[in-house]
Structure 1
């Protein structure tokens, strides 16, 4: 390939419709990103003498050397202070059969104490955080950085322990504001 070919745009060169649209707002933003299917996880930590948990789909692998993962947590979420103060946390990647768990842990106003009482779980061996039984995979992490990002914090953690099922069930995914199954 010549240098001229390498510099040539690969896609359409016309402006993308709506790219500079002044009517872009939070609702349209959520609608657009709702078109992006994501896995569903439960984040857990232990702070102030009890477990904290929340459903999350803003989870991304960052690096394999070292093993890093990031999560985005809303500043106003009760989980925010718990994860930033604790310094250790867990991720349980949910299977399709765990839809009720995802719904419960995303319910606004649920009791702060005893959130995991009705959910089978065990303690991670590296950090002691709760990890959900039956999850497709679990990870334990130690926080390495917290970055402010608008109305959220980006929490980066190094993986200190992980496990995954040998024969995973169907995955639980979130798409167009609904839980769905990926076979």
Structure 2
């Protein structure tokens, strides 16, 4: 057991890594190009109005795309989609054709939504807040679907996990 209580980058990462999160891919569309990025920072904010948020690193190419587009989609991944999560978490992949190998459709707001998702949201950006090296993007939820049943993909202590029966 570690007893050092100093707050530094490494101890903070270890501590928050103990909080299990779901895994999703957030998407946007700008200039006829689809952008996508794996996230585990999705949170429900409000039921009245319906609001959700995610965080995006300011240096990611997704950052400027989603802020200028003003719309985004979320596909909550099933536990069978670890490969999808890993692919969209990888920096520097080519933008063109990145969705070709992943069955998807474009929703009402024009953003890509994954066909295998447990749930999807389409959102219009309502606010953007500074969050250090990230921006906190809050969106009004416009559409919600639950196309598939199953167990979610989880992330805990730096590893993908699955729910135990």
The two structures have a TM-score, normalised by structure 1, of 0.85
> Deviation above 3 Å: which 4+ runs of structure 1?
none
CA apart distance, 1:149: 1.1
Gaps of 5+ in 1: 1-16
**Aligned pair 1:173/2:154, yes or no?**
yes
Q: 1:117 aligns with which of 100, 124, 145?
A: 100
Q: Tell me if 1:58 matches 2:41.
A: yes
Deviation at 1:18, TM superposition (A): 4.9
Matches within 5 A, 1:29-68: 29-68=12-51
Distance in 1 separating the partners of 2:110 and 2:91: 26
Q: Distance in 2 between matches of 1:138 and 1:84?
A: 20
Structure 2: how far apart are the matches of 1:181 and 1:70?
A: 24
User: Within 5 A, what are the aligned runs for 1:1-183?
Assistant: 18-19=4-5, 21=6, 24-124=7-107, 126-165=108-147, 168-183=149-164
Cα offsets for 1:140-173 (capped at 9, x unmatched): 00000011110000000001001013x6111100
CA distance in 2, matches of 1:48, 1:148: 25
Tell me the residue number matched to 1:9. none
- CA root-mean-square deviation: 1.2
Q: Unaligned 5+ residue runs, structure 2?
A: none
Structure 1 SS opposite 2:15 = helix
1:112-140 deviations in Å (ceiling 9; x for gaps): 2221111110110x201100011000000
Give the whole-Å Cα distance in 1 for the aligned partners of 2:75 and 2:42.
11
In structure 1, the residue corresponding to 2:36 is in which secondary structure?
Answer: strand
Question: Across the two proteins, how many residue pairs are aligned to each other?
Answer: 162
- Tell which structure's C-alpha radius of gyration is larger: 1
Matched residues in 2 for 1:100 and 1:112: separation? 18
